[in-house]
Amino acid sequence: MSGASPQAAGGGALLEVAGLRVRYGVIEALHGVDLVVRRGEIVTVIGANGAGKTTLLKAISGLVPAAGGSIRHHGEQGTAELGRLRPHEIVARGVGHAPEGRRIFQNLTVRENLGLGAYLRRDRAAIESELAEILTLFPRLQERFAQNAGTLSGGEQQMLAMARALMSRPSLLLLDEPSLGLAPKLVRAIFGVIRTIRSRGTTLLLVEQNARLALEAADRAYVLETGSVALSGTASELASDPRVQRVYLGGDA
Amino acid sequence: MNEFLQQVVNGIAWGSLYALIALGYTMVYGVLRLINFAHGDVYMIGAMVAYYAARALLAPGTASAPAFFALLALSMAACGLLGFLIERLAYRPLRRSPKFTALITAIGVSLLLENGGQLFFGPDPKFFPQLIESREISPGSGIVITNVQLLILGVSLTLMLGLQFLVFRTRVGTALRAVSYSAETASLMGIDVDRMISLTFVLGSMLAGAAGVLVGLSNPKIEPLMGIMPGLKAFVAAVVGGIGNIPGAMAGGLLMGLSEVLVVGYVSSTYRDAIAFVILIVVLLVRPSGLFGTSLEEKV
Ligand SMILES: Nc1ncnc2c1ncn2[C@@H]1O[C@H](COP(=O)(O)OP(=O)(O)OP(=O)(O)O)[C@@H](O)[C@H]1O
Ligand SMILES: [Mg+2]
């Protein structure tokens, strides 16, 4: 069940990361990363703990400053260097980010969390119909709608985090380990939703520990090792690469 | 019994002023985890702005309710601007510095306003013009409630309900609560976090400014250091209510006012200021996160 769709590969570049360096104090976490995401693709970044996957996504959405290199986004409003923008301006360009660890607002209700996802949108009617559509993807959230988000289970929180990110109707969605800590059945469901999101026209940059499922769903993939891109190619190429199989697909079921 | 009720009435009117000031402490703490020590001095500026505006604009003896509301609005606007500038000039440049640096700066801003106040306004007390003539409006009930007390209570309650509505029922309020939970995640929703922080300072300072005008109605003697003790007590009120918690700050403020008036009435005016700290110590021992507070760990 390969999610790779050949027609997607033809899209123009939506995001171009070149020579990206990020430092935390004296420690450099990314040493010049190059990565391209084309319109309509699912691109996955896999790598061990501490490889710099989260740092890469945070740099793209402006949460950590780049110490070098460039992050160019070709959006509807033209091309911009994301390194010069603040996080809320990057969201306004259509880049959504469901961060690692879900980060839902536990002091707010499910409804308020979803409403904040659409914070920058003014078209009420469109927001309402979007909400209804998203709730069909995540029926559990419908049942929990008025409830405080802090009372949700881990899986429900993950769904809320994805649903909230979708509410901004992003053209590019960054997902940081959406399957982390979920039961196998829910993991399958989340990957199903990822495919649905793409089929609705959203481009995805997916960071995952579950390399097997990520490579199944993605068109192309990058392997990040200690802050540098070690391998890249189409997802099926990488899935059959002996080194990827040994290191990332070995004990992975 | 009547005397007790009388004290309660006085205590609630007095406490609503502490509550107004306490809200500013708690809101700023909510979004920045910073104790804005200059907040009590903003309240002093509120009183001073109304005093000078009344002198400049009102002919003696022309005081009236419309004049009072105009001065209230003017003071609130001036204090809102002051709060905006304090955040912009003193705290924002330190956003990425250690918390301790911002705390020291807060003390510095407070000293600046107090000493600047003594320089500009002069150290001696001024007497707030009588904007509203005090009248008893509860004849025959055995307790004295004045129109001024009622006005203080009415204005503070209206402002507090307005804030409550803004924070808990509007889009901007939801954004404020999101920033208070996690500024980083809020920015991923497209919320301009800096703007929300500015708004917090403006709103909190406006409430302090309102308290400064209201206090002039009942305690007309105003001077540049008048913000220190009420500021401290309002801070205690915010901590007692659970710092970061808006209903908590209101409840804490009322508790401060009531306990202070009751201690003066039934024990001794010597302990007038001490009671706030007794309550603080007891609450911190029994419920360290404050009366309305949830655990502080949740925030980090
Ligand atoms: N705020 C921080 N301060 C200092 N170092 C950090 C910080 N965040 C991450 N690092 C370091 O940067 C490196 C990359 O971390 P990052 O979180 O990007 O890895 P990751 O690939 O997402 O790992 P994981 O799979 O565990 O989520 C690690 O060595 C980490 O210790
Ligand atoms: Mg990570």
Rounded to two decimals, the ipTM of the complex is 0.92
d(CA B266, CA B259): 10
- Please check whether residue A237 lies inside any domain of the structure: yes
The closest alpha carbon to B194, from B294, B293, B42, B84, belongs to B84
Centroid of chain to Cα B102: 21
Whole-number pLDDT of residue B297: 41
Q: CB distance B185–A108 less than 8 Å?
A: no
Look at residue B210 and tell me if it is in a domain: yes
* SS3 state of residue A34: strand
The mean of the pLDDT values for chain B is: 92
pTM: 0.92
Contact residues, chain B, for A91 at CB < 8 Å = 187-190
Q: What percent of chain B lies above the pLDDT cut of 70?
A: 97
How many angstroms separate the CA atoms of A182 and A208, rounded?
A: 13
Closest CA to A178 of A128, A126, A217: A217
Which secondary structure element, helix H or strand E, spans residue A223, and what is its range?
Answer: strand A220-225
The span from the CA of A115 to the CA of A142, in Å, is: 14
Strand B126-127 to A220-225 pairing: unpaired
Distance CA B272, CA A79 (A): 64
Summarize pLDDT for B24-46 with one digit per residue, the tens.
Answer: 999 999 999 999 999 999 999 99
Amino acid making up residue A97: H
The minimal CB distance from A97 to the residues B180, B188, B191 is found for: B188
Asked whether residue B202 is domain-assigned, the answer is yes
Question: A55 C-alpha to center of ligand 2: Å?
Answer: 7
B300 at the A interface (CB within 8 A)?
Answer: no
Residue B247 lies in a domain: no
A32 touches B: beta carbon within 8 Å: no
What are the backbone angles phi and psi of residue A11, rounded to the nearest 5°? Answer: -65, 155
Residue B121 three-state SS: helix
Q: Please state the rounded mean pLDDT for residues A42-56.
A: 96
Contact B47, B78 (CB under 8 A): no
pLDDT digits (tens, 9 = 90+) for B205-227: 999 999 999 999 988 899 999 99
> Is A190:A179 a contact under the CB 8 Å cutoff?
yes
- Whether A146 is covered by a domain: the verdict is no
CATH code assigned at A12? 3.40.50.300
Q: How far apart are CA B193 and CA B203, in angstroms?
A: 15
Q: In Å, what is the CA distance from B289 to each residue of B254, B255, B294?
A: 18, 16, 6
Q: Look at A88 and B177 and tell me if their CB atoms are within 8 Å.
A: no
The shortest CB-CB distance from A168 to any of B184, B190, B193 is to B190
Confidence of residue B143 (pLDDT cuts 50, 70, 90): confident
User: Is residue B238, in this structure, part of any structural domain at all?
Assistant: no
B245 vs A: CB within 8 A: no
Residue B235 lies in a domain: no
Residue A28 inside a domain? The answer is: yes
SS3 B243: coil
The answer to whether residue A104 sits within a structural domain is: no
Residue contact B191–A117, C-beta within 8 A: no
Residue A91 in contact with residue A80, Cβ under 8 Å?
Answer: no
User: Which ligand gives the minimal distance to the CA of A224?
Assistant: 1
pLDDT given at position B283: 92
Residue A5 has pLDDT above 50, yes or no: no
- Chain centroid to Cα A64, Å, comes to 16
On whether residue A24 sits in a domain, the answer given is: yes
Total domain count, chain B: 1
Beta bridge partners of A97: A174
For residue A2, what pLDDT band results from cuts at 50, 70 and 90? Answer: very low
CB-neighbour burial class of residue A114 (10 A; exposed 0-12, middle 13-18, buried 19+): buried
With the most atoms of ligand 1 within 8 angstroms of its CB, the residue from A23, A24, A223 to mutate is: A24
Predicted local confidence at residue B295, as pLDDT: 53
Q: In chain A, which residues have their Cβ closer than 8 Å to the Cβ of B190?
A: 88, 91-92, 119-120, 168
A91·B171 Cβ contact <8 A: no
Q: Does residue A9 have a pLDDT over 60?
A: no
The answer to the question of residue A246 being in a domain is yes
CB distance B204 to B27 below 8 Å: yes
Asked if the structure places residue B239 within a domain, the reply is no
Convert the pLDDT of each residue in B159-168 to its tens digit: 999 999 999 9
* The pLDDT value given to residue B298: 40
Lowest mean pLDDT of A25-39, B36-50, B54-68, B81-95, name the range.
B54-68
DSSP string, B145-199: -BHHHHHHHHHHHHHHHHHHHHHHHSHHHHHHHHHHH-HHHHHTTT--HHHHHHH
Measured torsion, CA atoms of residues B99, B101, B107, B110, in degrees rounded to the nearest 10: -100
pLDDT tens digits for A121-165?
999 999 999 999 999 989 999 999 999 999 999 889 999 999 999
Which residues of chain B have a CB within 8 Å of the CB of A119?
A: 171, 175, 189-191
Please state the domain count of chain A.
1
Contact across the interface for A105 and B177, Cβ inside 8 Å: yes
State mean pLDDT over B171-200: 97
Is residue A11 assigned to a domain? yes
Residues B110, A28: Cα–Cα separation, whole Å: 40
Model confidence over B234-260: pLDDT tens digits?
999 999 999 999 999 999 999 999 999
Domain membership flag for residue B265? no
> Is A18 within a domain?
yes
Pocket of ligand 1 (CB under 6 A): A 24, 27, 29, 47, 49-55, 100
DSSP letter for B88, please: I
Condensed to tens digits (0 to 9), the pLDDT of residues B60-77 reads 767 688 889 999 999 999
Q: A102, A114, A107: which is closest to A157 by C-alpha? A: A102
Residue-level pLDDT at A157: 93
Q: Is residue A32's pLDDT more than 80?
A: yes
Say yes or no for a CB contact (<8 Å) between B174 and A91. no
- Listed range (A88-92, A197-201, A225-229, A246-250) with the worst mean pLDDT: A246-250
The DSSP output letter for A12 is P
Q: Answer whether residue A1 shows pLDDT above 50.
A: no
CA distance A184 to A192: 12
Which candidate from B171, B188, B298 shows the least CB-CB separation from A91?
Answer: B188
Q: State how far the Cα of B31 lies from the Cα of A34, in Å rounded to an integer.
A: 36
Confidence grade of residue A253 (pLDDT, cut at 50, 70, 90)? very low
pLDDT of residue B96: 87
Which residue do the tokens 């502080």 mark?
B296
- Mean pLDDT value of segment A100-119: 96
Structural domain boundaries enclosing B165: 17-226
**Which of B189, B191, B294, B299 best tests the A interface by mutation, with the highest count of A CBs <10 A?**
B189
- Contact check, Cβ <8 Å, A120/B190: yes
CA of A49 to the centre of ligand 1 (A): 8
Mean local confidence (pLDDT), A169-196: 92
How far apart are the CA of A29 and the centre of ligand 1, in A?
7
Given a cut of 80, is residue A6 above it in pLDDT? no
Given a cut of 60, whether residue A169 has pLDDT beyond it is yes
Q: Is the pLDDT of residue A115 over 70?
A: yes
Which residues line ion ligand 2, judged by CB < 5 Å? Answer: A 54, 100
Q: Which residue has the higher pLDDT, A202 or B134?
A: A202
Judge whether B134 and B128 are in contact, CB under 8 Å.
Answer: no
Closest CA to A167 of A190, A199, A138, A206: A138
Cβ of A111: how many Cβ atoms within 10 Å?
Answer: 16
Atom 22 in ligand 1: residue holding the nearest Cα: A54
Q: How confident is the model at residue A55 (pLDDT cuts 50, 70, 90)?
A: very high
Q: Are B75 and B50 in contact (CB under 8 A)?
A: yes
Could you tell me the residue range of the domain that residue A55 belongs to?
A: 1-94+209-253
Strands A42-47, B126-127: pairing is unpaired
What is the pLDDT at residue B277?
Answer: 93
